[in-house]
């Protein structure tokens, strides 16, 4: 009996010792040993965050693991074509790529995206200290959990925020005039009604006075995105969802011409008269250019475009901007921000799945996300990064705070794998919004036509 | 018998010589086309199903031909081609005549006017986007707005102006190339007919009408052919400046095809569209060819 007890004790001790040893001895170097010398191909968008990726993550990963990362960058439209051609042809040339939320249904239903659950459960591959619980909800699950399976790991996201000219909103004479006209104190807008009032108040002709100075050019109360472009659709959806609207009901039936959506779009269209004449051709870069040109008081744009405005010496608006989450409609009080939901995934046809999984883990490490945030390249997703003093005490703290509030209210409209046909509806919507903006169609005509198209695409006649 | 074998060997020999080239042409030209025809008969719609679909006969063709967007894009492409081509030729011919005489700096000037045509189309599009963008474009802000133009509208943001701008950019890009080709043509014309016309006291207009234009007609036909094909494929400038918008006001056939292919992933319909465009274009080229043969006595 004593002998049996001794054996059990020794065995238990060994198990106890071995378990933590395994957990704490895990390293990328060791895990990557079988894949040393392997080359994985990562295709990504040609944006500042991906330009900096070599310096932020790739060099260090290659050094640590011996796995080579062949890294390609393209403008979004080309990137999308390359990724989808590679997946749909099952070529497997690229191991890792970004899945934007509107690609979700096509990619998931086609079986093109590798589920990561078996890798996450594999102690040889899975980093026990990765800390998946640190990722902020609801964005983490909305982005990466599809039909109960984890399909990607994240290291950033894009969210839209409100931008306002703090120097104008706080100007004493302007504040006084605003209060006299509208009956309340002017401040960075929290509601759409305030956005409208500020837009109307600051839209002025050349020769009029703005903040004590005579205007040499026209000035606009807001600058909107109106180009026939996917991004215009996404920003427009901020109005739709905050007005209590949506694109699909609970049964996945399109609701594009619902009363809420019509009201939201009427409101969005009503702001066009306070936006510069180029609105119909403006995308996110044009909006930034208009702000930098100093001709607009507010906008709604992706958060990462705020950082160039805050560079002292390079931007005349540095320190003169206010930021906030997407405003709400006073009647509904629904906080909503449409996020892009960019998830790096592994192609089902990858020939180096394990090595690619290690790379995905590396990208989603806290220190990588922190660097991305510190460089002002995108919104973090980890809770620990949001709390990092380098962000909370940064000169960009106002931007981070707006990003955080936006992400807390995030809506991933088409991250649902059941939203099949979205590319066609999205394409049709971008034309419709452009036609509504330029007055070729009324809001009702445009949304009715878009609804008809959505029904045709999503619910085909049998 | 031996003579006959010898003769058949001689007949086969030239075909054997061109066989590798013919095979390569078939592989590179005919195979993709046949593959497109096959695709056009299937319901391949990744956006709706995530995967490839089944045989549906001519349904894709009927869908495309019944789609307003298809006819709109065909009309816009034709409008762009019919306005841009004659203007490019006119400007090119005038410039070629100006350069067809000796003056100081002529060679440098010829090189300089060619710059728009040698630039990458994407760069041309970006240059004009930076020049004509609403409110912040260099020309819009620095010139047009100062003289009171486009104060309440923008070029690429207004349906009417956007198409005019696309045509104007194409002319800016390709008129210099026409000028260069016409200049080469003018310089290769024989001198004697012109000397004879001068002796006979022919006016400049008579020389142009009865000598220069008829002698250059093969060049006009070839250039017309090349530019017409190019204009029907116009893409880069539209994609970057307007994306086909506002609405569908600058959506030419290439942009429509791009939408069907890489935006909507309706590959069956996209293939049907490509076949329809090919058939229309083939018919147009054949008519063009016949007219050139009969009226202008070229080819």
For B26-79, how does the pLDDT look when each residue is reduced to its tens digit (9 = 90+)?
Answer: 888 888 899 999 999 998 887 766 566 789 999 999 999 999 999 999 999 999
Instruction: Give me B69's structure tokens.
Output: 């967007």
Looking at residue A326, the DSSP 8-state letter turns out to be P
pLDDT score, position A360: 96
Per residue in A95-111, pLDDT (tens digit) is 999 998 888 888 998 89
Mutate one of A226, A417, A423, A446 to test the B interface: name it (highest B CB count within 10 A). A423
Asked whether the beta carbons of residue B247 and residue A440 sit closer than 8 angstroms, the reply is: yes
Average pLDDT over residues A424-444: 94
**Which candidate, B29, B92, B98, B69, places its Cα nearest to that of B248?**
B69
For residue A336, what are its two tokens?
């909503």
Q: Is B159 on the interface with A (CB under 8 A)?
A: yes
Task: Kindly determine whether residue B154 and residue A280, on different chains, have CB atoms separated by under 8 Å.
Answer: yes
Chain B residue numbers with beta carbons less than 8 Å from the beta carbon of A293 are 135-136, 141
**Subunit contact B135:A293, Cβ cutoff 8 A:** yes
> What is the pLDDT, as a whole number, of residue B98?
93
- Interface A-B: count of C-beta contacts within 8 A: 130
Q: Could you tell me if A440 lies within 8 Å of chain B, comparing CB atoms? A: yes
Nearest beta carbon to residue A280 from set B140, B151, B157? B157
Would you state the structure tokens that stand for residue B77, as one six-digit string?
Answer: 């492409």
pLDDT in tens, A172-217: 999 999 999 999 999 999 999 999 999 999 999 999 999 999 998 8
Q: A88-110 as b/e, with b when 16 or more CB fall inside 10 Å?
A: beeebebbbbbbbbbbbbbbbbb
Mutual angle of helices B159-187 and B213-232, in 10-degree steps = 140
Q: Point out which residues pair with A322 in neighbouring strands.
A: A164
Extract the tokens encoding B28. 């590179």
Continuous segment of H or E residues that includes residue B27: none
Location of structure tokens 């042409």: B25
Asked if B232 reaches chain A (Cβ–Cβ under 8 Å), the answer is: no
What proportion of chain B, given as a percentage, has pLDDT over 70? Answer: 94
> In DSSP terms, which residues pair with B64 in a beta bridge?
none
Q: Please tell me which residue of chain B has the smallest CA distance to A228.
A: B245
Chain A contact set for B134 (CB, 8 A): 276-279, 281-282, 286
What is the three-class DSSP state of A343?
Answer: strand
- Alpha-carbon dihedral of residues B249, B250, B253, B257, nearest 10 degrees? -90
* B69-115 confidence digits (pLDDT tens): 999 999 999 999 999 999 999 999 999 999 998 889 988 999 999 99
Q: Interface pTM (ipTM) of the complex?
A: 0.79
Residue A413: the pLDDT is 77
pLDDT of residue A424: 86
Nearest to B288 by CA among B223, B205, B211: B223
Q: Is A324 helix (H, G, I), strand (E, B) or coil?
A: strand
Closest partner residue to B46 (CB to CB) among A106, A217, A440 is: A106
* Cβ–Cβ contact B14 with A under 8 A: no
The pLDDT of residue A15 is above 80: no
| Average pLDDT score over chain B | 89
Q: How far is B81 from chain A (nearest CA, A)?
A: 23
pLDDT in tens, A218-260: 999 999 999 998 899 999 999 999 999 999 888 888 999 999 9
pLDDT at A461 over 60: no
| Per-residue model confidence (pLDDT) at position B241 | 92
Beta bridge partners of A215: none
In this prediction, residue B142 has a pLDDT band, given cuts at 50, 70 and 90, of: confident
Given pLDDT bands bounded at 50, 70 and 90, which one contains residue A462? very low
B245 interface with A at CB cutoff 8 Å: yes
- Please give the pLDDT value at position B1: 53
Cα–Cα distance measured from residue B130 to residue B156, given in angstroms and rounded to the nearest whole number: 11
Q: Does residue A289 register a pLDDT over 50?
A: yes
**Contact yes or no for A218/A204 (Cβ under 8 A):** yes
Give the tokens for residue A403.
């990003």
- Find the length of chain A: 462
- The helix, strand and coil proportions of chain A, stated in percent and rounded to the nearest 5, come to 50, 15, 35
HSE (CB half, 13 Å, CA atoms) of B77?
25
Do B91 and B175 contact (CB within 8 A), yes or no? yes
> What mean pLDDT comes out for the span A407-430?
84
CA distance A427 to chain B (A): 7
| Option in B141, B157, B262 nearest A281 (CB) | B157
């Amino acid at each position: 009996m004593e002998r049996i007890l001794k054996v059990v004790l020794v065995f238990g001790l060994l198990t106890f010792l071995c378990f933590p040893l395994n957990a704490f001895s895990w390293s990328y170097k060791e895990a990557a040993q079988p894949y040393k010398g392997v080359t994985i191909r990562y295709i990504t968008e040609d944006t500042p965050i991906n330009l900096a990726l070599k310096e932020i993550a790739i060099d260090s990963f290659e050094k640590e693991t011996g796995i080579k990362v062949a890294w390609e960058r393209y403008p979004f439209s080309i990137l999308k074509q390359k990724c989808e051609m590679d997946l749909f042809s099952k070529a497997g040339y690229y191991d890792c790529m970004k899945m934007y939320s509107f690609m979700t249904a096509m990619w998931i239903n086609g079986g093109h995206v590798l589920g990561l659950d078996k890798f996450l459960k594999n102690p040889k591959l899975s980093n026990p200290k990765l800390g998946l619980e640190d990722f902020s909800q609801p964005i983490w699950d909305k982005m990466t959990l599809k039909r109960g399976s984890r399909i990607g790991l994240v290291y950033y996201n894009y969210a839209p925020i409100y931008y306002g000219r703090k120097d104008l909103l706080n100007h004493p004479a302007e504040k006084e005039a605003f209060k006299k006209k509208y009956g309340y104190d002017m401040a960075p807008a929290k509601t759409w009604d305030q956005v409208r009032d500020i837009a109307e108040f600051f839209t002025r002709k050349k020769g009029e006075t703005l903040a004590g100075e005579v205007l040499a050019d026209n000035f606009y109360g807001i600058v909107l995105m109106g180009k026939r472009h996917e991004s215009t659709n996404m920003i427009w959806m901020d109005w739709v969802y905050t007005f209590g609207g949506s694109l699909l009901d609970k049964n996945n039936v399109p609701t594009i011409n619902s009363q809420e959506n019509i009201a939201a779009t009427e409101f969005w269209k009503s702001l066009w008269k306070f936006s510069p004449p180029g609105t119909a051709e403006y995308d996110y870069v044009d909006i930034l250019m208009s702000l930098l040109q100093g001709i607009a008081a507010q906008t709604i744009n992706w958060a990462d475009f705020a950082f160039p405005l805050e560079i002292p010496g390079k931007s005349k608006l540095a320190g003169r901007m206010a930021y906030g989450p997407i405003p709400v409609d006073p009647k509904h009080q629904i906080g909503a921000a449409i996020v892009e939901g960019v998830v790096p995934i592994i192609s089902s046809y990858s020939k180096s799945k394990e090595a690619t999984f290690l790379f995905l883990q590396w990208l989603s490490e806290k220190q990588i996300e922190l660097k991305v945030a510190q460089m002002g390249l995108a919104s973090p997703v980890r809770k620990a990064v949001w709390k990092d003093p380098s962000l909370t005490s940064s000169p960009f703290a106002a931007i981070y705070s707006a990003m955080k509030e936006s992400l807390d209210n995030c809506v991933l409209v088409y991250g649902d794998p059941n939203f099949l046909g979205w590319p066609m509806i999205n394409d049709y919507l971008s034309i419709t919004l452009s036609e509504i903006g330029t007055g070729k169609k009324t809001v009702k005509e445009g949304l009715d036509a878009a609804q008809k198209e959505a029904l045709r695409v999503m619910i085909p006649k049998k | 018998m031996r003579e006959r074998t010898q003769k058949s060997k001689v007949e086969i020999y030239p075909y054997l010589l061109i066989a590798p080239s013919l095979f390569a042409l078939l592989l590179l030209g005919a195979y993709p086309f046949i593959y497109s025809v096959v695709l056009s008969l299937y319901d391949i719609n990744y956006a709706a199903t995530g995967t490839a679909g089944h045989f549906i006969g001519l349904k894709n063709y009927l869908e495309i031909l019944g789609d307003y967007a298809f006819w709109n894009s065909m009309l816009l492409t034709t409008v762009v081609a019919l306005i841009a081509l004659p203007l490019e030729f006119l400007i090119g011919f005038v410039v070629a005549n100006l350069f067809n005489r000796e003056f100081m700096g002529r060679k440098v000037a010829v090189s300089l006017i060619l710059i728009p045509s040698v630039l990458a189309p994407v760069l041309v599009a970006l240059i004009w986007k930076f020049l004509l963008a609403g409110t912040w474009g260099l020309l819009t802000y620095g010139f047009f707005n100062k003289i009171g133009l486009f104060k309440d509208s923008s070029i690429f943001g207004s349906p009417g102006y956007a198409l005019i701008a696309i045509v104007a950019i194409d002319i800016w890009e390709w008129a210099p190339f026409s000028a260069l080709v016409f200049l080469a043509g003018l310089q290769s014309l024989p001198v004697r007919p012109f000397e004879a016309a001068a002796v006979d006291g022919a006016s400049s207009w008579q020389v142009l009408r009865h000598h220069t234009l008829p002698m250059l007609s093969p060049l006009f036909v070839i250039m017309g052919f090349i530019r017409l094909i190019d204009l029907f494929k116009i893409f880069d400038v539209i994609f970057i400046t307007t994306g086909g918008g506002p609405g569908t006001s600058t959506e030419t056939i290439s942009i429509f095809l791009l939408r069907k292919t890489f935006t909507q992933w309706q590959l069956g319909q996209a293939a049907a569209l490509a076949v329809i465009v090919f058939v229309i274009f083939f018919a147009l080229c054949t008519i063009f060819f016949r007219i050139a043969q009969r009226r202008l006595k070229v080819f």
